[in-house]
Amino acid sequence: MVEVKNQVVNLKMYIDGEWKEAENQQTRLVYNPANGEIIAKAPEGTITDARAAIDAARKAFDTGVWSGISAQERASYLLKIADKIDSYAEELTELETMDNGKPLREAGFDVADAAACFRYYAGLITKPDGQTYHVADPMQAMVVREPVGVCGLIVPWNYPLLMSVWKIAPALAAGNTIVFKPSEVTPVTPQKLFEIFEEVGLPKGAANMVMGAGAVVGNEIVSHPDVDMVSFTGGTKTGKHIMKTAADTMKKVSLELGGKSPNIIFADSDFETAVDYALFGIYAGSGQVCSAGSRILVEESIYDQFVARFVERARKIKVGPGNDPSTEMGPLVSADHLEKILYYIELGKQEGATVACGGNRIVTAGLEKGYFVEPTVFVNVEQEMRIVQEEIFGPVVVIQKFKDEEEAIKLANGTIYGLAGGVFTKDGAKGLRVIKKLRAGITWINSYHPTYNEAPWGGYKQSGIGRSLGTFGLEEFQEIKQININLQVEPVGWFSN
């Protein structure tokens, strides 16, 4: 259905195995962030559409067309999906670049990782789980894991395909049925993924997709009593709203939210390695990465040298359209997001910070219609400034100075967030000592950003609740049931009469 052509494609929602327009026929335009061209029209789903998807998922769960089949059978569907993702890899990569703006090499990595994620959960769901307990005779106690039920999955625009898969693969593996909502900004590759679900013959109603505004269809998913769980990735403000709304029906919630992650560079680190990873930490994905190393903390004895080298290299990053193979950093995802980033850059100047490089929209010939911003560095920053405290979610980094280990840890932990963090040092004991003091869920020593399907992903503090990926990511989508079996069937004899 979706074709990589310079033509506007009409996207559809996928409800109970059927492709649907919004019930009121309304659509929303989707833009290529590299040039502002319209690439697709997406259905502007309504509450009625969301309810239809929820009903389909509820029916599919309750009748057991998905939850009732064996783990082996579900795994074989997931493996077929992974193979299809591989076979469409080139198309998916190009679509992701067109929709989100990210360079082809980043999109290609996401596509390969998406296939790997389906394979990982296909394997995991067929492995042993549960526990048995040595309780007093004549009882036998045990625990089994079961699907939660109907899961509402809501994702943002920064990894349109991969974030979808991080939720969909474990949710389906566990036997749940799903109502999925992509970001209204980037619905193109999610639709392709659902076309794959149709191709492999996923039972009707097992996987449903609605499109439209978060405040409308997203909110319906979060508040509807037939949805048992909500798994959300996005901004902390939205996450708080979702948690409050979900409380009314006591849904299980899993929240992967924002970050303002510290990257701590000690004077004894391998200097060029630290600079290189620090650049990668903030400018990969144009800084639109939840775990971005957006606060670089540098020991004072190498601070000036570090800033000079970092700025020298940041200036040379090749910014351009994602479909140009020589591009190293793409545009921001949307015109609205561009405005937000430019707002934060102005705010930083007003707060008294110094722009060491960048700070402008790029309007050179060929890029003037896209949403491009220069790699930007702020120095002379104070911990309480908003550009240090708030998630900017763009190619904007602050570089701070610290005196010693204690101050580095204090500054690193000094925001409401706790998603990720890195430490660079050649002193192994110091590296681990500092990492253990970081209040963050994902950390690296002498590295930044690598993510593994096998390992848990999520944050401390206001960066969220729960974990994606790994065994923890599967458990998010499972209930735990205690089963007690009496092996001596006779009356308990508690009452005498």
- Catalytic residues, by residue number, are 256, 290
x-marked contacts with ligand NDP along 384-423 as a string, rule CB under 6 A? -------x-x------------------------------
Q: Counting contacts by CB under 6 A, is residue 215 touching ligand NDP?
A: yes
* From 50-58, 195-203, 210-218, 427-435, span contacting ligand NDP (CB under 6 A): 210-218
Minimum CB–partner distance for residue 459 and ligand NDP (Å): 9
Minimum CB–partner distance for residue 218 and ligand NDP (Å): 2
* From 69-77, 152-160, 406-414, 425-433, span contacting ligand NDP (CB under 6 A): 152-160
Where in 285-314 is the site for ligand NDP (CB under 6 A)? 290
d(Cα 84, Cα 118) in Å, to the nearest integer?
11
- Closer by beta carbon to ligand NDP, 214 or else 262: 214
- Closer by beta carbon to ligand NDP, 154 or else 399: 154
In the set 158, 261, 400, 443, which binds ligand NDP (CB under 6 A)? 158
Cβ atoms of residues 255 and 410 within 8 Å? no
What string of H, E and C letters represents the secondary structure of the chain? CCCCCCCCEECCEEECCEEECCCCCCEEEEECCCCCCEEEEEECCCHHHHHHHHHHHHHHHHHCCCCCCCHHHHHHHHHHHHHHHHHCHHHHHHHHHHHHCCCHHHHHHHHHHHHHHHHHHHHHCCCCCCEEECCCCCEEEEEEEEECCEEEEECCCCCHHHHHHHHHHHHHHCCCEEEEECCCCCCHHHHHHHHHHHHCCCCCCCEEECCCCHHHHHHHHHHCCCCCEEEEECCHHHHHHHHHHHHCCCCEEEEECCCCCEEEECCCCCHHHHHHHHHHHHHHHHHCCCCCCCEEEEEHHHHHHHHHHHHHHHHCCCECCCCCCCCCECCCCCHHHHHHHHHHHHHHHHCCCEEEECCCECCCCCCCCCCCECCEEEECCCCCCHHHHCCCCCCEEEEEEECCHHHHHHHHCCCCEECEEEEECCCHHHHHHHHHHCCCCEEEECCCCCCCCCCCECCEECCEECCECHHHHHHCCEEEEEEEEECCCCCCCCCCC
Q: Counting contacts by CB under 6 A, is residue 181 touching ligand NDP?
A: yes
Q: Counting contacts by CB under 6 A, is residue 190 touching ligand NDP?
A: no
In the set 33, 101, 218, 422, which binds ligand NDP (CB under 6 A)? 218
- Closer by beta carbon to ligand NDP, 155 or else 423: 155
Minimum CB–partner distance for residue 99 and ligand NDP (Å): 13
In the set 46, 100, 183, 191, which binds ligand NDP (CB under 6 A)? 183
Sort strands 229-233 and 150-154 into parallel, antiparallel or unpaired.
parallel
Residue 182, exposed/middle/buried by CB under 10 A (0-12, 13-18, 19+)?
Answer: buried
- Closer by beta carbon to ligand NDP, 218 or else 418: 218
Where in 247-276 is the site for ligand NDP (CB under 6 A)? 257-258
Minimum CB–partner distance for residue 289 and ligand NDP (Å): 7
Cβ neighbour number for residue 155 with a 10 Å cutoff = 26
Where in 453-472 is the site for ligand NDP (CB under 6 A)? none
- Closer by beta carbon to ligand NDP, 114 or else 124: 114
Minimum CB–partner distance for residue 312 and ligand NDP (Å): 28
Minimum CB–partner distance for residue 415 and ligand NDP (Å): 13
- Closer by beta carbon to ligand NDP, 258 or else 370: 258
d(Cα 334, Cα 313) in Å, to the nearest integer?
26
Where in 79-108 is the site for ligand NDP (CB under 6 A)? none
x-marked contacts with ligand NDP along 328-357 as a string, rule CB under 6 A? ------------x-----------------
In the set 222, 265, 329, 465, which binds ligand NDP (CB under 6 A)? 222
Q: Counting contacts by CB under 6 A, is residue 191 touching ligand NDP?
A: no
d(Cα 286, Cα 159) in Å, to the nearest integer?
12
Q: Counting contacts by CB under 6 A, is residue 164 touching ligand NDP?
A: no
In the bound state, the residue with its beta carbon closest to ligand NDP is 214
In the set 101, 160, 234, 281, which binds ligand NDP (CB under 6 A)? 234
In the set 154, 174, 332, 440, which binds ligand NDP (CB under 6 A)? 154
Instruction: List interacting residues with ligand NDP (CB under 6 A).
Output: 154-158, 181, 183-184, 213-215, 218-219, 222, 233-235, 238, 241-242, 257-258, 290, 340, 391, 393
